[in-house]
């Protein structure tokens, strides 16, 4: 008899077909919105799940799901998982690293360019019919080429951004990370390790690419924003909660920094209302990895993680060690 799995959100039909070869699949192609209670009740009927970053698997959920054996997140981030609690319950957790690195780094740079060069702000101006003549200072933004980029979080995606910055735009790259890169990796990225305070004070553009955890909550708050240059930009493609969105909105309104680009938000899909009223911010709905080839690769790796666990006792890209 096939094990029962649930797919929490719509995914590619071809990925569902692969899963159906191995499992009894409950899908959600209709994209029914779960409450935590309804999600827990549905999950309790299954041995495995394919989730996105919005589907919680925490101690409370696990207590109600004694049959659960493996959960595969279709994301590189996994702050929807309580990994220690999953390990304690013998539930395999997995994510989808590597397959989205280059696409996400591309988007990070696109968001940086849009933020620095005031693309969204100027487009809105044009669409409102306000453009009547050219001016020398019309939407004059910040330089990107030759400037200094400061990267907080230097994992795979951070290094991808650093390579683009250094080799493509001749930028000076500084970074801060929990651990310093090897000399070889620093040389490849042309990156210099600095303190967090030094990065904030020096960078023309600050890029956030660090994972979310209790320790990284509000890594950028009012105090950190006050250390940045008034001419600096801030880009967050990491996770909501790393930035204090209320403090950022106020800093933008008061022009204590020049602009921001955000792909992630605290409490998303809700967005702090103050961010919707300031003009000097570019907002996108968590789409940094959203190219068709990359999203398909993510879905297929998540599927492979489930297939591998139930056939071989271990996922391909596990987040914890459990005994099947």
- Residues known to be catalytic: 239, 268, 286
Region class of 215: left (phi > 0), else alpha (psi between -120 and 50), else beta:
alpha
Measure the CA–CA gap between 205 and 150, rounded to whole angstroms.
6
Measure the CA–CA gap between 56 and 243, rounded to whole angstroms.
21
Kindly compute the dihedral angle of the four CA atoms of residues 204, 206, 207, 211, in this order, to the nearest 10 degrees.
Answer: 160
Omega before residue 215 within 30° of 0, cis: no
The set of residues, in sequence order, having a beta carbon less than 8 Å from that of 214 and lying 6+ positions away, is none
Which residue shows structure tokens 């740079």?
109
Note the Cα 298 to chain centre separation in Å: 13
């Amino acid at each position: 008899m096939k094990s029962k799995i649930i797919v929490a959100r719509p995914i590619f039909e071809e990925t569902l077909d692969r899963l159906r070869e191995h499992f009894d699949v409950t899908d959600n192609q209709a994209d029914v919105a779960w409450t935590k209670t309804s999600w827990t009740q549905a999950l309790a009927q299954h041995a495995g799940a394919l989730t996105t970053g919005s589907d919680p698997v925490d101690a409370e959920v696990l207590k109600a799901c004694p049959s659960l054996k493996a959960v595969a997140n279709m994301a590189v981030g996994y702050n929807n998982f309580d990994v220690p609690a999953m390990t304690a319950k013998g539930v395999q957790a997995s994510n989808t690293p590597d397959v989205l690195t280059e696409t996400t780094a591309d988007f990070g740079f696109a968001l940086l360019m849009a933020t620095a060069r005031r693309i969204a702000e100027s487009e809105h101006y044009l669409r409102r019919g306000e453009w009547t003549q050219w001016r020398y200072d019309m939407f004059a933004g910040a330089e990107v080429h030759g400037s200094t980029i400061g990267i907080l979080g230097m994992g795979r995606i951070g290094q991808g951004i650093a390579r683009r910055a250094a080799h493509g735009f001749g930028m000076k790259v500084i970074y801060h990370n929990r651990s310093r890169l090897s000399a070889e990796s620093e040389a490849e990225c042309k990156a210099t390790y600095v303190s967090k305070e030094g990065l904030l004070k020096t960078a023309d553009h600050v890029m956030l690419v660090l994972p979310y955890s209790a320790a990284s909550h509000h890594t950028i708050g009012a105090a950190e924003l006050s250390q940045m240059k008034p001419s600096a930009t801030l880009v967050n493609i990491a996770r909501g909660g790393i930035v204090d969105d209320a403090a950022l909105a106020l800093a933008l309104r008061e022009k204590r920094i020049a602009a921001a680009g955000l792909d992630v938000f605290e409490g998303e899909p809700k967005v702090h209302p103050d961010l919707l009223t300031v003009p000097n911010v570019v907002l996108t709905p968590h789409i940094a990895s959203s190219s068709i080839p990359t999203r398909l690769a993510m879905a297929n790796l998540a599927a492979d993680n489930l297939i591998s666990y139930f056939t071989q006792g271990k996922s391909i890209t596990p987040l914890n060690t459990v005994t099947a």
